[in-house]
Amino acid sequence: MTKICLTNDDGAHSTGLRKLAELLSLEMEVVIVVPEGERSASGKALTFNRPIRMKKHKNDFGLHMIAHDGSPADSVILAHHLFNDIDLFVSGINTGANVTYQSMLTSGTVGAAIEAAIMGYPAIAVSQVVSPEEWFNNSDRERDFTAICEITRDIIRKIVKKGFPAGIDALNLNFPSALADKSEMIVTRPARMRIRNEVEKRVDPNQSPYYWVKGVEEKPQTGTDVDEVLYKGNISLSPIVIEGLTDEDLEIVRNLIS
């Protein structure tokens, strides 16, 4: 039986994690190794300066979960230590889209998938567009994850049947905030960025200045992941390739320093 390890960066109480685990467990063996709380925007950070504490418990949906006080990428290392027969890592379902390299390199959800890929495991990151009011809280409990979970399961079934795509290290799957009948799954290239970060200076009641980083949305390039998901309402599946340098790329850099 295929063995799936689930993790995320939204914590052990994520509804998306729960719903996906429930569905996958009907036909696959599912283990869950996950940070105990919110770890969004932690990227591929690892915990080196202190011990990681783990707690095994049976969660309220009947599957055994290992929650810990580390990062999402720590989950992969812990799972590799605890289980020696994992076939696929799935990270998500994340509350908030992880389209563009800008988001992928920041996201703890994608960071966990990349950590798994570096260690030689097939991996998928799964995310969904939400409004800013839903970030960093448990409001995902109000969402219906049925269709997203079923589509994700179907992709996993195809991977089990056909094998993980050759030459691809991980897959980044993103859903719009709401699926429509016309929503299609599009294989896309990630855009470079979707948000231009600006800093706004403010003054607190004690007249001390502080600074708030805010994002200003940029118009995306047509056909990229952010264009398909945020503007066209489609589902984006983007390959992640870690070792993509060619001999020509290396020669260009050699010419630079010669």
- pLDDT tens, position by position, 59-116: 666 788 999 999 999 999 999 999 989 999 999 999 999 999 999 999 999 999 999 9
- Give the CA angle between residues 114, 120, 126 to the nearest 5°: 35
Counting every residue written for the chain, the total comes to: 258
**With contact defined as beta carbons under 8 Å apart, do 5 and 17 qualify?**
no
**With contact defined as beta carbons under 8 Å apart, do 114 and 240 qualify?**
yes
The mean per-residue pLDDT over the stretch 128-147 comes to: 77
Q: Give 207-210 contacts, CB < 8 A, sequence gap 24+.
A: none
pLDDT digits (tens, 9 = 90+) for 167-195: 999 999 999 999 999 999 999 999 999 98
Q: Which CATH class is domain 3-191+219-257?
A: alpha beta
The total of other beta-carbon atoms located within 10 Å of residue 193's CB is 17
3-class SS of residue 187: strand
The one-letter code for the residue type at 117 is: A
3-class SS of residue 202: strand
Record the pTM. 0.92
Pairing of strands 170-175, 235-240: antiparallel
Longest pairwise C-alpha distance within the chain: 62
